């Protein structure tokens, strides 16, 4: 047995023979941390109380070695009283006594070892080691567990502090059930513990159903969202104040008995609004708020591909404002801008949601009409012409009119260039045959 652990052991040694006490103590001190000598049971008990019961700053006694027959208080009586204070203290008896009553009492007191007199020091050290090892290992394990628990609590607190300091909302899932949430998440919903949230709804039930955002009714929503492209892992939720916020969702998984997920919700509301603003500016005319030329061309190419495949009819209207240069030169560009805006509003009211309306450039406008025949397009163009001509302006004393060209797409014959060229020719004819009229392109 490795006896190095004895260097951490404090021994109470009780012996009424002074020479034996002195000699044995000196030898024991070479193996153990400290020996506390006592000449009888009464003194030994007092020492034990001093070191153990009073919780002094000194080392506590770990093991008791005692003779049996001693004045004032014998060894067994002392052991009995020590066990009333601490029953875990292992006692060792040094004796030449063979009386059966003493031996029976010693057994009842859970004596851990016997060393016959005269003492054999090797036997004594071995007996001390065997008796002290279980208590030493138990205390060492308890100390280790205590330190481990403190470290676990410290790391848990550290992790909780890290999570709570995050601006992101963070959830930990065990399977499909939330097991933990950080303070940012709780604050978003105005609650103080995750159990309150779990009682009211599941997280996916907080996702707003809206085009462009992820939503679902399935408990397996995490599996669904991780299948999406990163740019589509976006959800919208309402906080406890009623404010809508947009979040990008990130998912990390790990396995601990069962599958767990760490889900992070990053608030991108302002970024989304800025992105929407940039996207709007990139696709819309700043003055009229209609689509710009680039956006119209993008949509036109899509509709041509669709028309070549399904042949559901596709028409286009192109128009410009008659004598608009004269209006600008006479009344100023501010008045010209008012007229452009007013006509844009007329077009928006005169077309369908599925129609694509754009400012083509200057005073020219385009209207793309999906699933619309030539006759239907001419009717729509005529209505727009009449609506524009009927408008009054406080800034000018004359009517404003428009000339319109109409063209219908022939599937698998026309292309982008021929389609645009045809409607441009029709508009040119309208302008050069009296203006304020609708002309259909003749194939």
Catalytic sites, residue numbers? 363
Q: Return d(Cα 119, Cα 317) in angstroms, integer.
A: 120
**Look-up of token digits 């404010």:** 243
Report the C-alpha gap between 409 and 412 in whole angstroms: 9
The closest of 132, 136, 140, 139 to 28, measured between CA atoms, is 132
141 burial (CB, 10 Å; 0-12 / 13-18 / 19+) is exposed
Q: What is the 3-state secondary structure (H, E, C) of 30-58?
A: CCCCEEEEECCHHHHHHHHHHHHHCCCCC
Q: Where are the alpha helices (DSSP H) in 232-286?
A: 269-283
Angle between helices 18-28 and 121-164 (to 10 degrees): 50
307/312 Cα distance (integer angstroms): 6
Q: How far apart are CA 178 and CA 196, in angstroms?
A: 12
Look at the block and give the residue holding tokens 């002309």. 439
Q: Kind of pairing, strands 244-256 and 258-267?
A: antiparallel
* CA dist., res. 208 & res. 211, Å (int): 9
Q: In terms of Cα–Cα distance, which of 442, 412, 410 is closest to 429?
A: 442
Helical H runs in 284-408?
Answer: 293-310, 324-331, 333-350, 374-389
Exposure on the CB side of residue 391, measured as CA atoms within 13 A: 23
Alpha-carbon torsion (57, 59, 64, 69), positive or negative: negative
Contact present, 440 and 374 (Cβ < 8 Å): yes
Cα 426 to Cα 400: distance, rounded to the nearest angstrom: 20
C-beta of residue 350 within 8 angstroms of C-beta of residue 384: yes
Lookup: tokens for 255: 């396995």
- The reply to whether omega before 118 is within 30° of 0 (cis) is yes
Residue partners of 275: CB distance under 8 A and separation at least 6: none
């Amino acid at each position: 047995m490795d006896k190095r652990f004895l260097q951490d052991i404090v021994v109470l040694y009780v012996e009424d023979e002074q020479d034996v006490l002195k000699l044995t103590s000196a030898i024991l001190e070479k193996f153990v941390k400290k020996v506390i000598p006592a000449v009888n049971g009464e003194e030994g008990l007092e020492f034990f109380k001093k070191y153990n019961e009073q919780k002094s700053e000194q080392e506590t006694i770990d093991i008791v070695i005692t003779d049996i027959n001693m004045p004032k208080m014998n060894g067994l009586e002392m052991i009995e009283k020590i066990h009333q204070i601490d029953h875990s203290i292992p006692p060792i008896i040094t004796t030449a006594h063979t009386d059966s009553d003493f031996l029976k009492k010693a057994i009842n007191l859970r004596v851990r070892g016997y060393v016959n007199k005269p003492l054999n020091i090797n036997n004594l050290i071995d007996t001390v080691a065997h008796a002290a090892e279980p208590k030493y290992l138990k205390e060492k394990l308890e100390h280790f567990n205590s330190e481990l628990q403190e470290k676990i609590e410290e790391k848990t607190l550290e992790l909780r502090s890290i999570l709570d300091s995050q601006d992101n909302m963070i959830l930990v899932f065990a399977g499909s059930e939330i097991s933990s949430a950080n303070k940012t998440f709780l604050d978003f919903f105005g609650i103080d513990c995750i159990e309150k949230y779990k009682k009211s709804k599941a997280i996916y039930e907080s996702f707003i159903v809206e085009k462009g955002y992820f939503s679902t009714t399935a408990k397996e929503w995490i599996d669904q969202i991780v299948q999406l492209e990163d740019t589509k892992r976006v959800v919208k939720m309402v906080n406890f104040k009623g404010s809508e916020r947009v979040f990008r969702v990130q998912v990390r998984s790990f396995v601990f008995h069962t599958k767990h997920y760490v889900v992070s919700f990053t608030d991108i509301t302002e970024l989304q609004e800025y992105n929407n603003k940039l996207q709007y500016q990139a696709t819309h005319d700043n003055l009229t708020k209609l689509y710009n030329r680039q956006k119209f061309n993008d949509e036109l190419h899509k509709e041509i591909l669709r028309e070549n495949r399904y042949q559901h009819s596709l028409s286009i209207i192109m128009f410009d404002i008659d004598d608009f240069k004269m209006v600008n030169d006479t009344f100023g560009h501010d008045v010209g801008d008012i007229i452009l805006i007013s006509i844009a509003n007329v077009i928006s009211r005169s077309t369908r949601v599925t129609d694509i309306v754009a400012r083509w450039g200057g005073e020219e406008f385009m209207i793309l009409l999906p699933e619309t025949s030539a006759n239907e397009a001419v009717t729509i163009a005529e209505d727009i012409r009449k609506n524009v001509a009927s408008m009054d302006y406080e800034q000018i004393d004359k009517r404003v009119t428009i000339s319109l060209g109409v063209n219908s797409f022939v599937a698998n014959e026309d292309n982008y260039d021929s389609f645009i060229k045809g409607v441009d020719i029709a508009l040119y004819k309208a302008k050069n045959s009296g203006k304020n009229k609708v002309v259909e392109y003749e194939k």
